[in-house]
Amino acid sequence: MKKIDHVAIVVNDIEESITYYTNNYDCKIIHADKTWGFLQFANIKLALVLEGKHPPHLAFEVDSVDGVRHRDGSISKYIHDPSDNAIELIEYPK
């Protein structure tokens, strides 16, 4: 069974959205910049993305994926389900 790693939603303003979620819900900031925010909740992570910078998506953690290496060391690639929803397959190398 694959583990859901995070859900990414489109927001209008990263900083404003981070403030909203951290002030109203019990979460911690993993990362924040001008185009992307990443929040850790007790049971899942939430990515806040700007339209056109990162697609809204559902991410599954996998053991291995042939994809792009990111600044945090993770490796991922996007695929699409039959309804054309973006799915990110993400690997966190040990």
Enumerate the domain spans of the chain.
3-91
DSSP secondary structure string for all residues of 50-66: -TTTS--EEEEE-S---
pTM of the model: 0.89
Q: Report CA dihedral (70, 72, 74, 75) to the nearest 10 degrees.
A: 10
User: What is the Cα–Cα distance from 46 to 67, expressed in whole angstroms?
Assistant: 21
For 10-24, the pLDDT digits (tens) are 999 999 999 999 999
- 45 CB-near residues (< 8 Å, 6+ apart): 5, 6, 7, 30, 38, 39
Query: Which fold is adopted by the domain 3-91?
Result: 2,3-Dihydroxybiphenyl 1,2-Dioxygenase; domain 1 (3.10.180)
Q: What is the pLDDT of residue 1?
A: 61
Please give the pLDDT value at position 54.
87
pLDDT tens-digit profile of 22-59? 999 999 999 999 989 999 999 999 999 999 998 999 99
pLDDT the model gives residue 72: 82
